[in-house]
Chains A and B, each alone.
Chain A
Amino acid sequence: MSLASPFSHGGAPRIALVGNPNCGKTALFNALTGSRQKVANYAGVTVERKEGSFTTPGGHRVQVLDLPGTYSLRARSPDEEVTRDVVLGRFRGEAEPDLLVCVADATNLRLVLRLVLELKMVGRPLLLALNMFDIAKHRGIEIDVDRLSAELGVPVVPTVAVRRAGTVDLLKRIDAAAEGLEVVAPGTGNTWHEPSAEEVRATHREAERIIKLAVRPPTRPDTWTTRLDTVLLNPVAGLLILLTILFFMFQAVFTWAQPVMDGIKAGFDGLSAWINGTLPDGLLRSLITDGVIAGVGSVVVFLPQIVILFTFIILLEDFGYMPRAAFLMDKIMGGAGLHGRAFIPLLSSFACAIPGIMATRVIDNRRDRLATIMVAPLMTCSARIPVYTLIISAFVPDRTVGGAFSLQGLVMFGLYAAGILSALLVAFVMRRLVWRGTVEPFLMELPAYKVPDAKNLVMGVWTRAKAFLQRAGTTILSIMILIWFLSSFPGAPEGATDPAIDYSIAGMVGHWLQPLVAPIGFNWQMTVALIPGMAAREVAVAALGTVYAVGGGEENVSALMDTLGHSWSLATALSFLAWYVFAPQCASTLGVVRRETNSLKWPIIMFVYMTTLAYLASLATYHIAASLGWA
């Protein structure tokens, strides 16, 4: 391979995006390839190697790798190891990338110059992209691009990853490089090694020298961030604001969604009424109304709540609030034995425990990381929303308390709080029993606040909503068809007096397993719902919809709430809620824990401890409620 042209081998050249955390690598990756990887305003969003490809304006097919952010190739945490391995060509037998594009936050060059100096030692063709050039300009930071390039010995191009035309110069360079022109620093031999303390200091001095020569400090520094932070990071006011935001979020999830949910429900009810009118009574009609509409429909009605929750989460992430919240919670989390860096993974688990568990890769200490993984599923994920909402709507009166708060919203907030508190408690106990030792101190970069990007918000919410509907239309749909089949066959024998469903396979399995869950107040229909509910929590709601529809002949989606309201006691309903706060009802989560810990031991421990907690919590809830006369 010729050293002058990085792209002279046969296949599509591979470009790796390397840089400090939160400098816009993923935004650049999305801009180049048109993908929709997650972009957010905090460090540690990307924790995996992501691959994409595109054709340059000059017609060259190029592969791009997006990587986790890092300050150095001396990797500390699992996500940084991914970056190091890809850059050094050690990743799963992959060859080194053909071109390293070091992405820099132009408003904060000090740290990235050290990384550039380190990357030069790797000896691969290298290019520096000065990203966020718009913000740098806006603040009046003057960067002498030619001087910077000359001092570093690396070509430099300004980019603005979030603007349409922001990558034109970069694309031109890539095209020129593909044509064999010397527009990137040429490859040399790899001389990278773990730097000694003396070498680290030398790199530091060199970076300082170059900064002095090429960068003039801002004339209009970002005063907004400092001003906002005096309030938002205040130990008292800040915590109050954080609590208020969370409280408002859960109230909104409940109250704002209601009108839209009613609309969707009415739509499904109309649909089944129409089918009842057109199709003759029979198997096919039962399959469509009891199996598909009553089952899948009862999950799809929760789409508005999912949308509202994700809107809040994405806005907070894009604004740059998440690391502040982590900072505020550091004391409390530290008291429970959780690392400060555990906050963002735990908060991501409000959406889904799977990305939450993946996000723990930013935690370098293995014990801290395991403790976070083990409690992440206790955070209330969005799949629990349908379960919680269904029970709350059926059993908690729709009243306002204290003038403005919806009582149902308050109960929802309480369930979220129960999840958070139990996560803290379990972490506390685990740190006492298993992993004794102090929690390592925590340094986290606080990014400048940014006005959330409307396109990013719409795209993010759309992606989540689509995934939710897709799951409803594939997995949940097929499981519901099977549940319908199992609860319809075999039919009742001649002269039977009990409801036909009691003679079906599902009925028999439910009745047979029911003694196991009788102490916690569950009936056989709930038992039937819990089994497919292992696939994903919201499937349990769909299964209840189908089982009650087949059993009771009520095909309406909205009928499920009424049915539960008069066929379950309050004690049973509360016990079911308690079960769902703790139960490990999600096979995919256990699978991810297995992959991330690389052992079967941890998912098994997780399953056992969570099931035990769930059973005990339900048992206590049921008996306390029963003794209050709510059975």
Chain B
Amino acid sequence: MQQVIVGLVVVAALAWVLRPSVMRIVRRRRVAAGKAPGPCGSDNCNCGG
């Protein structure tokens, strides 16, 4: 029982720490697929200027 709780907590912590990187990768995928605008200044950027 204790082990299960501890395991879950550790996995949740890991997920939290990795969240920004995962989001970034997902975003990059979407940009590459043309589904989202890229960061300013990049090739996929939608800037007017």
Which chain A residues have a beta carbon within 8 Å of chain B's beta carbons?
85, 89-94, 282-284, 287, 474-475, 477-479, 481-482, 485, 598
The answer to whether the Cβ of B41 comes within 8 Å of any Cβ in the partner chain is yes
* Residues in chain A near residue B10, CB distance under 8 A: 481-482, 485
State whether B46 touches A481 (Cβ < 8 A): no
Residue of A85, A89, A92, A477 near B46 (CB, 8 A) is A92
Helix, strand, loop or mixed for chain B's interface?
helix
* Residues in chain A near residue B16, CB distance under 8 A: 474-475, 478
* Residues in chain B near residue A85, CB distance under 8 A: 49
State whether B2 touches A92 (Cβ < 8 A): no
State whether B9 touches A92 (Cβ < 8 A): no
**Given known contacts A92-B40, A283-B6, A287-B6, A478 and B13 CB-to-CB distance under 8 angstroms:** yes
* Residues in chain A near residue B40, CB distance under 8 A: 92
* Residues in chain B near residue A477, CB distance under 8 A: 13
The number of residues on chain B lying at the interface, defined by a beta carbon within 8 Å of a beta carbon of chain A, is 17
15 contacts between A and B (CB under 8 A): A92-B46, A92-B47, A92-B48, A93-B47, A93-B48, A93-B49, A283-B3, A475-B16, A477-B13, A478-B17, A481-B9, A481-B13, A482-B13, A485-B10, A485-B13
Whose C-beta in chain A lies nearest to the C-beta of B48?
A93
Give the complex CA separation of A475 and B47 in angstroms.
33
Residue of A90, A282, A478 near B2 (CB, 8 A) is A282
The answer to whether the Cβ of B23 comes within 8 Å of any Cβ in the partner chain is no
Please indicate which of the listed interface residues B5, B13, B16 has the most CB atoms of chain A within 10 Å of its own CB. Answer: B13
The answer to whether the Cβ of B14 comes within 8 Å of any Cβ in the partner chain is yes
Whose C-beta in chain A lies nearest to the C-beta of B49?
A90
Task: Say how far B24's CB is from chain A's closest CB, in angstroms.
Answer: 11
* Residues in chain B near residue A474, CB distance under 8 A: 16
Whose C-beta in chain B lies nearest to the C-beta of A92?
B47
* Residues in chain A near residue B13, CB distance under 8 A: 477-479, 481-482, 485
* Residues in chain A near residue B17, CB distance under 8 A: 475, 478-479, 482
Whose C-beta in chain B lies nearest to the C-beta of A292?
B9
**Given known contacts A283-B6, A284-B6, A287-B6, A91 and B48 CB-to-CB distance under 8 angstroms:** yes
Helix, strand, loop or mixed for chain A's interface?
helix
- Which B residues from 1 to 49 make CB contacts under 8 A with A? 2-3, 5-6, 9-10, 12-14, 16-17, 40-41, 46-49
* Residues in chain A near residue B46, CB distance under 8 A: 92-93
Residue of B6, B14, B47 near A482 (CB, 8 A) is B14
Whose C-beta in chain B lies nearest to the C-beta of A94?
B48
* Residues in chain A near residue B6, CB distance under 8 A: 283-284, 287
State whether A92 touches B14 (Cβ < 8 A): no
Task: Say how far A265's CB is from chain B's closest CB, in angstroms.
Answer: 24
Give the complex CA separation of A598 and B47 in angstroms.
15
Task: Say how far A601's CB is from chain B's closest CB, in angstroms.
Answer: 15
Task: Say how far A583's CB is from chain B's closest CB, in angstroms.
Answer: 21
State whether A90 touches B48 (Cβ < 8 A): yes
* Residues in chain A near residue B14, CB distance under 8 A: 478, 482
Task: Say how far B20's CB is from chain A's closest CB, in angstroms.
Answer: 10
State whether B48 touches A284 (Cβ < 8 A): no
Whose C-beta in chain A lies nearest to the C-beta of B39?
A595
Task: Say how far A14's CB is from chain B's closest CB, in angstroms.
Answer: 15
Give the complex CA separation of A91 and B46 in angstroms.
11
Give the complex CA separation of A598 and B40 in angstroms.
10
Give the complex CA separation of A482 and B16 in angstroms.
11
Task: Say how far A84's CB is from chain B's closest CB, in angstroms.
Answer: 11
* Residues in chain B near residue A475, CB distance under 8 A: 16-17
State whether A287 touches B9 (Cβ < 8 A): yes
Give the complex CA separation of A73 and B26 in angstroms.
39
Give the complex CA separation of A160 and B33 in angstroms.
49
Give the complex CA separation of A282 and B4 in angstroms.
13
7 closest Cβ pairs, A-B complex: A93-B48, A481-B13, A478-B13, A478-B16, A284-B2, A92-B47, A485-B10
5 new A-B contacts, CB < 8 A, other than A90-B49, A479-B13, are A91-B48, A92-B48, A283-B2, A478-B12, A482-B17
* Residues in chain B near residue A94, CB distance under 8 A: 48
Task: Say how far B8's CB is from chain A's closest CB, in angstroms.
Answer: 11
